């Protein structure tokens, strides 16, 4: 006989008792507990099966100061300028010897994404631009898109994240 944890069977036991009679209640208790156990196990397997991990390696950092801002977008809205609409974002330290930084986004659903990055060498948290909107810091996009005189579009920078995961490399652009 399979013994389930106390927490899984407390509520069903009370419900089974109220359902009427010890014999009928115990039979339905076993069924309810087994159904709950299979449901929870199935959900855990389903979540694990569709989880992918994205590793973003940003290379070409010109100074070891500051951090690199990495924003992951699952849709075109907000890309690349409004990272408050990003699916996830993080600030990662620069490896001074390798002159690169790495960010890991775990437990993502497989699908299409785009990434924008910039080197925040003075830790302001913002991409500073000149009078004409040209970035003063190093920046980059997934697929290493390098459009002239404008920011990359989501459709240009998007990539497919498969189920097992993926590592992408972004080269910083300094102008």
Q: Could you give the percent of the chain with pLDDT greater than 70?
A: 72
Average pLDDT over residues 7-34: 54
Residues 6+ apart with CB under 8 A from 58: 68, 70, 92, 100, 101, 102, 103, 117, 119, 140, 169, 170, 172
Lowest mean pLDDT of 27-31, 114-118, 166-170, name the range. 27-31
Strand, coil or helix: what is 153?
A: coil
Task: Please tell me what DSSP assigns to residue 129.
Answer: B
Question: Comparing 125 with 30, which gets the higher pLDDT?
Answer: 125
Identify whether the C-beta of residue 115 lies closer than 8 Å to the C-beta of residue 170.
Answer: yes
Instruction: Tell me which CATH code domain 52-171 carries.
Output: 2.60.40
How is the chain split among helix, strand and coil, in percent rounded to 5?
30, 30, 40
What are the sequence ranges of the domains in the chain?
6-49, 52-171
Tens digits of residue pLDDT in 31-41: 765 566 665 55
**Mean pLDDT calculated for residue range 106-120:** 97
Kindly indicate the confidence band of residue 149, based on its pLDDT and cuts at 50, 70 and 90.
confident
48 or 34, greater pLDDT? 34
């Amino acid at each position: 006989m399979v013994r389930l944890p106390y927490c899984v069977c407390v509520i069903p036991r009370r419900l089974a008792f109220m359902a009427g009679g010890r014999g009928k209640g115990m039979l339905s208790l076993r069924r309810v507990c087994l159904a709950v156990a299979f449901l929870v196990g199935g959900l855990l397997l389903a979540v694990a099966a569709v989880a992918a991990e994205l590793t973003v390696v940003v290379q070409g950092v010109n100074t070891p100061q500051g951090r690199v801002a990495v924003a992951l977008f699952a849709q075109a809205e907000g890309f690349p300028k409004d990272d408050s609409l990003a699916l996830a974002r993080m600030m990662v330290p620069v490896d001074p010897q390798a002159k690169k930084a790495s960010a890991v986004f775990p437990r993502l659903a497989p699908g299409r994404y785009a990434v924008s990055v910039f080197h925040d060498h003075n830790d302001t948290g913002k991409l500073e631009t000149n009078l004409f909107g040209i970035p003063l810091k190093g920046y980059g996009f997934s697929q290493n898109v390098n459009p002239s005189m404008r920011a990359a579009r989501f459709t240009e920078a998007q990539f497919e994240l498969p189920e097992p995961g993926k590592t992408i490399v972004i080269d910083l652009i300094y102008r």
